[in-house]
Amino acid sequence: MTARVRKDYQQARWNEPVIYELSLPGARGVLVPMPDGEVQAKAGDVLGRLPKGMRRAELPNLPELSQKHVLSHYLHLSQETLGSNITNDISEGTCTMKYNPRINEVLVGDPRFAELHPDQDEDTVQGILEIYHRFSQIIKEISGMDEVTFQPGGGNHAVYTAASVVRAYWAARGQLEQRNEIITTIFSHPCDAAAPATAGFKVITLYPDKQGIPDIEALKAAVSEHTAAIFMTNPEDIGIFNPRVDDFVRIVHEAGGLCFYDQANANAFLGVARAREAGFDMCHFNVHKTFGTPHGGEGPANGAFCCANELAPFLPVPRVVYDGKKYHLDYDKPQSIGKVRDFMGTAGVILKAYAWTMMMGAEGLRETADVSVINNNYMLAKMEGIRGLDYAFRGNGIRRQEQVRYTWEPLKNDTGVGTDDVNNRIADYGIEHYWTSHHPWVIPEPMTLEPCETYSIDDLDEYVEVIRTISEEAYADPAFVKAAPHRAASHRRNDDASLDDPAKWAVTWRAHVKKTRK
């Protein structure tokens, strides 16, 4: 079968103004009638009841539009996106963009869940507490850890929770001043450096050895009586699993430090390997990635932070506990780091993840890992021979896991077409931009792809064919590829430099007006 490649793809291009620019003074979406006399009399002076400090002196600066124009504005914008569920999103390496069953959206939309309020008495929310409890049992089994909290609002937040727990642990021992360094690796998720830094630790980063595995000799040189912990991802962002991870844990433990395993994306090892057996004291999962709940568009996300009994006293409160008859929220944890988020975290994500996990079953989780690794290696094999394309640490004899960090460096040297150009061109085939890598680019001209278990062989073949086609285009007519995209909604940023200039960039209309007015 020939892979489908959408050569005649053409995205809508509306050149849509900012909604403020569409404003027509006096236009209204909804005309609310004045209440009749009786209601007015009963209500009295409504505004007068507002505290003075909360009353506006002037009307807010909102755009004025009819309902129809608001609707068409946002429909235009939606047609100019290339997101999940509309495109082949193998592109988003490290993001685990698997397909998420629609039935779970029905579940969270059910009023029996959707209309719960986190301030309700715990007697009236026993159902969702039970789901928290049950899902925590599942996560404990998957990680091998003793305790878990779902309070963090995402992966980075869970890693920050880990850093806070490490800080509380050393403070409780009176050694925080001495144990002030956290070690990480260059291909770990950047939050493994950023979260400890935010929690006040010094960050020590290890580079890889020639095989692309974190340099164990560098670790030996790095550990000392100052080591508070190591925060490491595995498999790392380049898709290589560190086979000596237990040695890393041993070296850090021997130096007196704690070990945190970043398992944001667990797709490669569900049911295969556990943090506990590798010797770790803590780990986390991005529930919204591995466990079949949608992400992107800034959420909602959830980070499950797991730890061994020794660290459990420091977990955030409240804890969901079960006394054999009823579920309770337990705030009585004097050594707790406190709350890291309001209430109980993102309950909707937990409900969807619980439903997904129950649908999959234990064997299904293991199959998820197997298929995602097979998909990735199938795609890697098909990518072989595409001119100008290579991948990081080729020939190191280590099988790639769930993703690969490719490099367009040969193409760049041959034609001047680099990864940013290919990335612009890929949109012309109806495929969303791919993930290059974090900065700085340790692997030059990077492209990181992650074909999860939910992609069909057609999806994989389509992706490879598009990549092959763009490579051929680059060799035949580099200027054409460098001028891409040609068929996408938005062309190019007209002023790249301004994104680096705080005097110019603006993320709100108010900031834009303020910065352009002067």
Partner 1 sequence: MTKKLGLIVNPFAGMGGRVGLKGSDGADTLQKALALGARPEAPRRAVEALSMLQDLKGALEIVAYPHEMGEDEARQAGFEPTVVGSIDRGHTMPEDTVRAAQDLMRLGVDLLLFVGGDGTARNVHDAVGDRVPALGVPAGVKIHSAVYATTPRAAGDLAKMVMEERVGAFHDAEVMDIDEDAFREGRVSSRLYGYLRVPADTGHVQNMKSGRAAGDEAALAAIAEHVIEAMEAHPDDLFIVGPGTTTRAIMDRLGLQGTLLGVDLVEGLRLVGSDVGERDLLERSQGRRSHVVVTVIGGQGYIFGRGNQQISPRVLAQVGLQSLMVVATRQKIASLRGGPLLVDTGDAEMDRRLSGYARVITGFHDEIVYRVEA
- The nearer residue to partner 1, 158 or 193, going by C-beta atoms, is 193
What is the closest distance, in whole angstroms, from the C-beta atom of residue 143 to partner 1 in the complex?
A: 24
Residues for the chain: how many in total? Answer: 518
What pairs with residue 232 in β-bridges? 261
What is the closest distance, in whole angstroms, from the C-beta atom of residue 386 to partner 1 in the complex?
A: 19
- The nearer residue to partner 1, 202 or 514, going by C-beta atoms, is 202
Residue-by-residue DSSP string for 339-358:
-SSSTTS-HHHHHHHHHHHH
Q: Which two tokens stand for residue 169?
A: 């642990």
Residue-by-residue DSSP string for 186-198:
TTS-THHHHHHHH
What is the closest distance, in whole angstroms, from the C-beta atom of residue 98 to partner 1 in the complex?
A: 17
What is the closest distance, in whole angstroms, from the C-beta atom of residue 287 to partner 1 in the complex?
A: 17
Residue-by-residue DSSP string for 397-452:
S----S-EEEE-HHHHHHHS--HHHHHHHHGGGT-PPPB--SSS-SSSSEEEE---
Asked whether 148 and 140 are in contact (CB, 8 A), the reply is: yes
Strands (DSSP E) contained in 38-157 are 147-149
- The nearer residue to partner 1, 74 or 441, going by C-beta atoms, is 441
| Residue written as token pair 């807010």 | 60
The CA distance from 393 to 238, in Å, is 9
What is the closest distance, in whole angstroms, from the C-beta atom of residue 204 to partner 1 in the complex?
A: 5
Question: CB neighbours (10 Å) of residue 73?
Answer: 18
List of residues 6+ apart from 438 with CB closer than 8 A: 190, 237
- The nearer residue to partner 1, 198 or 377, going by C-beta atoms, is 198
List of residues 6+ apart from 64 with CB closer than 8 A: 23, 24, 25, 26, 27, 28
- The nearer residue to partner 1, 86 or 499, going by C-beta atoms, is 499
Which amino acid type is present at position 117?
H
- The nearer residue to partner 1, 328 or 438, going by C-beta atoms, is 438
- The nearer residue to partner 1, 23 or 224, going by C-beta atoms, is 224
Written in H, E and C, the secondary structure of 247-306 is: HHHHHHHHCCCEEEEECCCCCCCCCCCCCCCCCCCEEEEEHHHHCCCCCCCCCCCCEEEE
The CB-side HSE value for 213 (13 A sphere, CA atoms) comes to: 15
What is the closest distance, in whole angstroms, from the C-beta atom of residue 157 to partner 1 in the complex?
A: 15
- The nearer residue to partner 1, 100 or 448, going by C-beta atoms, is 448
- The nearer residue to partner 1, 336 or 415, going by C-beta atoms, is 415
- The nearer residue to partner 1, 57 or 497, going by C-beta atoms, is 497
- The nearer residue to partner 1, 125 or 193, going by C-beta atoms, is 193
- The nearer residue to partner 1, 186 or 337, going by C-beta atoms, is 186
What is the closest distance, in whole angstroms, from the C-beta atom of residue 259 to partner 1 in the complex?
A: 17
What is the closest distance, in whole angstroms, from the C-beta atom of residue 410 to partner 1 in the complex?
A: 11
What is the closest distance, in whole angstroms, from the C-beta atom of residue 353 to partner 1 in the complex?
A: 21
Number of continuous H segments (helices) and E segments (strands) in the chain: 16, 12
Residues in contact with partner 1 by the rule CB under 8 A: 94-95, 186, 190, 193, 197, 201-208, 210, 215, 217-219, 221-222, 412-416, 418, 420, 423-424, 433, 435-436, 438-442, 444, 479, 483, 495-501
What is the closest distance, in whole angstroms, from the C-beta atom of residue 339 to partner 1 in the complex?
A: 26
What is the closest distance, in whole angstroms, from the C-beta atom of residue 180 to partner 1 in the complex?
A: 9
Nearest to 229 by CA among 207, 208, 199: 199
315 exposed, middle or buried (CB, 10 Å; 0-12, 13-18, 19+)?
Answer: buried
What is the closest distance, in whole angstroms, from the C-beta atom of residue 205 to partner 1 in the complex?
A: 5
Question: CB neighbours (10 Å) of residue 99?
Answer: 15
List of residues 6+ apart from 215 with CB closer than 8 A: 206, 207, 208, 209
